[in-house]
Amino acid sequence: MPKRPRKPSKPLLTDENLPLQSRPVKRRDPEQPHLPFDPMPERVEPCLALLKSKPPRGPDWSYEIKWDGYRIAVHIEPSGVRIITRGGHDWTHRFPAIADAAKALGQTTMILDGEAVVLDEQGPSDFGLLQNSLGASRKSGGKLPSRNSLLYAFDLLYLDGHDLRGTEYRVRRHLLEDVVPRDEGAIRLSEEFDADPNDLLNHACRLGLESIIAKHRDSPYRSGRTGDWLKIKCVQRDSFAIIGYEPSTAMPGAVASLLLAARYRDGYKYVGSVGTGFKHDVARSLKKMLDKVKTRVPVDRVPGKNLVMTGPAYVAEIEYRAWTSDGKLRHPSFKGLRDPDDAGELYRLPD
């Protein structure tokens, strides 16, 4: 029997003799008894910023600084708190201060999207300090809890039974400002800046920050690099695989430089070496770590003598100024190791 069309002016006045039609009622998850509307997602793939050379302008865009740490999602549920990394690993035990601050927010259920950071003495976030707090350069192999890290929250994906991913960013931001405290605790609000984006970028660069983020106010939360969020950098910064090292002649038991590679097609391609950015103790610990993954079959040919080749087991975060004409990094500087459990995306060269 065909459905009878509803009258736009009186949508509820239909023929009472017609059979009632409705969709099956979805059973409520017994693990979430207090969420009567949308079940909380187990995990959300993050929205990522698309790299642009210039910031967009206009009232449809908001601007924030780029925090230098680990992207995490904090799930506050009736059963407790979970902290999930970008790679999908449960790191609740690695960020105890953030977990405690999340519990202190009360009975509200939510998912916060943000960046776990450690601040230096001047105030900016420092990726190297975060890695040190996680034990990246110690015998623990990077498995320590970071007790001095904090979360800068910049989006709200779920709140009290409502999945907010389909709502506009301006709405999510308004709700985020209501639930995240503005004090100096372990969970803080990532501030928006009402300023000319070019002035903001120049100011961020003068302070030694990596970049700024622009977000379209009317966009829903979509996973991946959709262009809803844009990143405008002061300097280039990406992740590269370590495929070997040059031993130090001045300091026995340490590396002089690391050999780096980017993803290329189905393998790796050498993109240069980095010999600055690490202190003596880090140079020694890097050699001990890399000596455990030596290989006789390098992933790519590297020019030079007395080099030690390794498998691409470790990922380095590298800051650099540009690319040379022969495809090498210009003025690279080592910023730290990415955790093997959550290395993020390796830089990929175009085919």
d(CA 74, CA 292): 34
- CB-based contact 62:229 (threshold 8 Å): no
Neighbours of 52 (CB within 10 A): 14
- How many residues make up the chain in this entry? 351
Pairing of strands 150-159, 187-189: parallel
d(CA 212, CA 63): 7
d(CA 47, CA 62): 16
Judge whether 103 counts as a catalytic residue.
Answer: no
**Catalytic pick among 7, 66, 279, 288:** 66
Q: In what helix (H) or strand (E) does residue 7 lie, and over which residues does it extend? A: none
DSSP 97-161: HHHHHHHTT-S--EEEEEEEE-B-TTSSB-HHHHHHHTTTTSTT-S-S--TT-EEEEEEEEEETT
Amino acid (one-letter) located at 263:
R
Q: Which two tokens stand for residue 66?
A: 């780029």
End-to-end CA distance of the chain: 56
Pairing of strands 61-65, 211-216: antiparallel
Helix and strand numbers (H, E) in the chain are 5, 17
- CB-based contact 15:3 (threshold 8 Å): no
Q: Which two tokens stand for residue 133?
A: 């707090």
- CB-based contact 110:160 (threshold 8 Å): yes
Q: Which two tokens stand for residue 179?
A: 């639930």
Q: In what helix (H) or strand (E) does residue 319 lie, and over which residues does it extend? A: strand 308-320
**What Å distances lie between residue 348 and 68, 270, 326, CA to CA?**
21, 12, 16
Q: Which two tokens stand for residue 98?
A: 């953030």
In DSSP terms, 83 is beta-bridged to: 74
Q: Which residues are catalytic?
A: 66
